Chains A and B, each alone.
Chain A
Amino acid sequence: MRLELKIDGVDQPIELLRNGPDCRFRLADAPARAAHVETPEPGIYSVLLDGLSYDTSVEETPTGLVVVIHGHRFEIEVRDPRRWTRGSGAAGAEGLQTILSPMPGKIIRVLIAPGDAVETGQGLIVVEAMKMQNEMKATRAGRVLSVTVKEGATVSAGEILATIE
C-alpha cells in the first residue's frame, strides 16, 4: 500500500511493503527498512526499529494526524486517493481564504454575513474556550463567500468557520 504523507509540511510518500507486526516499509527515496509494530492500546503504536524502542501515539484531528514520539510532535496529512479526497484546505484555491477554528470551543460572535466586504485584519468570528477569547481576522481583503457557523455553535479545532474570496 502506498500513501502520500505530508509530514510537518514536507511531502514524503510511504510504501508498506509487508503488512503485519513484522513489517517492511520504504519512506520517500530511502532504502526499504524492517520494523516491528504492535498496538498495545488504542492509538498507541509500539515501534521497534534497529533495536530501538519508540512508544508512539497517534491522534486523529479534522486536519490530519498528530503523532507524538518522545515528546516530539508531528503533524501529518495522509492522502490516499481513494478516501482522503479533501481539497488543499487552508492554502486553498486561487484567492480563497478559509477561516479555520484554531481550537475546540464555542462561537460567541459572528461579525460577518455572506456578501460582506472585509478588509485585511478585520475581525470576523470570535471563538471562546476555557475563558479565552480568540478573534479570527481576515488575512487579506475580500468578500465573504460563506459563513458555516452560527453564534452558540460548538466547533472542533480545524473546523471551517467561513470562506472569503
Chain B
Amino acid sequence: MDASSTDYGQACAGPEGTLALLQFGFMFRKVLIANRGEIAVRVMRTLREMDIASVAVYSDADRTSKHVRMADEAEHVGPSLSSDSYLRMDRILDAARKHGAEAIHPGYGFLSENADFAAACEEAGVVFIGPSAHSIRMMGSKTAARQTAIAAGAPVVPGTDHGVSLDQAREFAAANGYPILLKAVAGGGGKGMRRVDRDADLESALRNASSEAERSFRNSEVYVEKLIEHPRHIEIQLMGDHHGNMIHLGERECSIQRRHQKVIEECPSPLVEQHLEMRPAMGQAAIRAARAAGYYNAGTVEFLVDQDRRFYFLEMNTRLQVEHPVTELVTGLDLVRLQIEIAAGGRLPLTQQQVSWRGSAIECRIYAEDPYNDFLPYPGKITRLSRPLGPGVRVDGCIYAGWTVPMEYDPLLAKLAVWAGTRADSTARMIRALGEYDVGGIRTNIGFFRQILEDPEFRAGNLHTGFIEEFFARNQRPKPSPDLVAVAALAAAVHSQSRTTAVTAQPDAPSSAWRQEGRSGLLR
C-alpha cells in the first residue's frame, strides 16, 4: 500500500474523517470486489463508468471467469472451496493492501453480511461499501433483526426470538398451532429451513434443519415461526447516507420462488400497484426499522404479505440484493453508484419526493439447473451462447461460450431483466427475450420461465411463495404438436448422421467414435 492511501485510510476511519473528505468531493480511485460471478461483473461496470479502477479476487476455479477477465487488476486468494478463498477475510484484506484498494465492495453472499469483516475493513483503513458492523450485527441475524423491528414498531410474524430445543419448538407449536416454519438463526437463501405440518414430523425436521444450518453457516441454531399460508414476498429497497438521510426506492415482489429462493422478481408489485397506499406504509415501516439499527448504505427490508394485505417484517438484508436491477429500471437510478458515493461520504442525491416509479420491470434468474428434475444443479461447459438483445432488455451475467460453470458455487449464471410501460408489456417482452436466450452444453431454467410467464395466474398477478409447486400440480408439461415432434426427430437424426460422418472425416473430432464407444461401454 502506498503512503497516500494509508493516510486516507486513517482519515476515513471515523465518520468525521469521511465528512472532511466529502468537502473536497472525495472519490475512490480503486475498489476491490470481494466476490465473483455476475455481481462482481455488475459492480465493475459501474466502477468503470465512474472511472474507478477495479480489483478482482479469484479462487483456483475462477482463473478464467469473467470477473477476472474484466477487472483492471486481479489477485488469487486461494483454492476453489469458498471457505479457503472468498470467505478468507485475511486474504481479501491482504489483496486490498497489496493493490492499494481504498474500498471493498462485498457484493451479496460470501462476506457481505459478515459484521466481523466490516469491522476488519474499518480497522485496516479500507472502506467497507455497505452499512456499519454495528448495523449488520443488529440486522444480520434474523432473531436480532426481529427484536430491532419489534422495538421500532414494525409488525412481525409470531415466532421465537432465539434458537430452540425440541421441547421449546413443541411448546411454540402447541401455543400457535401448525403449520410452523423452522429457520436457521444465521440463515439465508432457504438453507436450514423446514415447514412442519404435524408434531410427528417435528423431531426429524428440526434435526435436518439444524444439520443443514451447521453445514451452511457453521451455526446449528434453529428458531421457529408461525407459517403464513400463501404469503406474498414483497420487499422494500432502502438507501441511506452517513448524514442521517434515508429514503425508500419502493418495493419489489419476489413471490416466485423455488426451494425458498427467489427466481422471478418484479417492480412494482402487481398487488401494490392495485393498492398504492401500501407503498408508503411499507416504505415508512422499513425506514423506521432500519433507523433503529443506525443504518446507512443500501439495504432491503423483506415483508411477508398475507391474503388480507397485512404485512409482517421478515428480515433485513444488509447488502445489495440480487434483484436490484428491477428497481434500477423503474426508478432510473444506479444503486451501485449510490452505494459507492455514499461510502465515499457523499449525500443522497435525491429526496423521497424526488423518487418516481415508471413502467414495469421483471427479472428472471437464469440458473444452471434442471427444472424438470427437481431443479437439481447442472454445472458444466457452456458450448454455445446467444444472448437476447433488442428493446428494453438488460442482461447481468458472467458467462461466455467455452467457460465451464464451476460446481463449487451458486448456480446463478445471469439475470435477465426487461422493462416496458406496463406489466402486460414487460411480461410479453420477457417471453420474447427468453426465446432469444440460448445456452448450450448445460441445462438451464430458461424454457421453464417461459411457461411460468405464459401462465394465466402469473399474468393476473395472483402470486404467492408456493406458486411454482402449485404451477406444477396444475399443469402437465405442454404437449408438443406433431410438427414439433417431427422437427425434433429430424434434428436428432441429422445430428446422429453428421456425427458419424464427422468421425470418419476427422478422428480428433470432440465427440469421437472412441469416446462414444467408451460411453457405450460404460452404459452397457
Contacts of B487 in A (CB 8 A): 35, 47, 49, 54, 56, 69
Q: How long is the Cα–Cα vector from A50 to B522 in the complex, in angstroms? A: 41
Asked if B511 and A74 sit within 8 Å, CB to CB, the answer is no
Contacts of B520 in A (CB 8 A): 83-86
Interface: A96 (CB within 8 A)? no
Q: How long is the Cα–Cα vector from A69 to B491 in the complex, in angstroms? A: 10
Name which residue of chain A comes closest to B516, CB basis.
A83
B384-395 near A? 1/0 per residue, CB < 8 Å: 100000000000
How many pairs of residues, A versus B, come closer than 8 Å at their CB atoms? Answer: 174
A143-155 near B? 1/0 per residue, CB < 8 Å: 0000000000010
B486-524 near A? 1/0 per residue, CB < 8 Å: 111111111111101000000000010100100110111
Asked if A130 and B411 sit within 8 Å, CB to CB, the answer is yes
Asked if B435 and A130 sit within 8 Å, CB to CB, the answer is no
Partner-contacting stretch, out of B85-93, B373-381, B416-424: B373-381
Asked if A65 and B495 sit within 8 Å, CB to CB, the answer is yes
Asked if B491 and A58 sit within 8 Å, CB to CB, the answer is yes
Contacts of B440 in A (CB 8 A): 43-44, 57, 59
Contacts of B408 in A (CB 8 A): 130
Asked if B488 and A69 sit within 8 Å, CB to CB, the answer is yes
Interface: A7 (CB within 8 A)? yes
Interface: A12 (CB within 8 A)? yes
Contacts of A41 in B (CB 8 A): 384
What distance in Å separates the Cβ of A15 from its nearest Cβ neighbour in chain B? 9
What distance in Å separates the Cβ of A18 from its nearest Cβ neighbour in chain B? 12
Q: How long is the Cα–Cα vector from A156 to B378 in the complex, in angstroms? A: 9
B402-417 near A? 1/0 per residue, CB < 8 Å: 0000011111000000
Question: Which A residues contact B (CB, under 8 angstroms)?
Answer: 1, 3, 5, 7, 12, 14, 16, 19, 23, 25, 27, 30, 33, 35, 37, 39, 41-45, 47, 49-50, 52, 54, 56-60, 62-63, 65-74, 76, 78, 80, 83-87, 89, 102-106, 129-132, 134, 154, 156-157, 159-160
Interface CB pairs A-B, < 8 A, 12: A16-B497, A27-B490, A37-B490, A37-B494, A42-B383, A45-B494, A49-B486, A54-B487, A86-B520, A102-B373, A130-B410, A130-B411
Q: Which of B337-377 contact A (CB under 8 A)?
A: 368, 370, 372-374, 376-377
Choice from B384, B409, B434, B491 contacting A130 with Cβ under 8 Å:
B409
Contacts of B409 in A (CB 8 A): 130-131
Asked if A72 and B493 sit within 8 Å, CB to CB, the answer is no
Q: Which of A47, A87, A159 has the most chain B CB atoms inside 10 A of its CB?
A: A47
What distance in Å separates the Cβ of A19 from its nearest Cβ neighbour in chain B? 7
Interface: B484 (CB within 8 A)? yes
Choice from B372, B407, B441, B489 contacting A7 with Cβ under 8 Å:
B489
Asked if B492 and A76 sit within 8 Å, CB to CB, the answer is yes
What distance in Å separates the Cβ of B35 from its nearest Cβ neighbour in chain A? 16
Q: How long is the Cα–Cα vector from A5 to B368 in the complex, in angstroms? A: 27
What distance in Å separates the Cβ of B495 from its nearest Cβ neighbour in chain A? 4
- Minimum-distance CB pairs A-B, first 7: A130-B377, A71-B447, A45-B491, A129-B377, A103-B376, A74-B488, A86-B523
Choice from B374, B378, B441, B496 contacting A78 with Cβ under 8 Å:
B496
Asked if A85 and B493 sit within 8 Å, CB to CB, the answer is no
Asked if B492 and A67 sit within 8 Å, CB to CB, the answer is yes
Choice from B368, B407, B486 contacting A27 with Cβ under 8 Å:
B486
Name which residue of chain B comes closest to A19, CB basis.
B497
Asked if B494 and A72 sit within 8 Å, CB to CB, the answer is no
Q: How long is the Cα–Cα vector from A130 to B498 in the complex, in angstroms? A: 34
Interface: B438 (CB within 8 A)? yes
Q: A71-B434, A86-B523 are in contact. Are A3 and B484 (CB under 8 A)?
A: no
Interface: B485 (CB within 8 A)? yes
Q: A84-B520, A86-B524 are in contact. Are A103 and B377 (CB under 8 A)?
A: yes
What distance in Å separates the Cβ of A21 from its nearest Cβ neighbour in chain B? 10
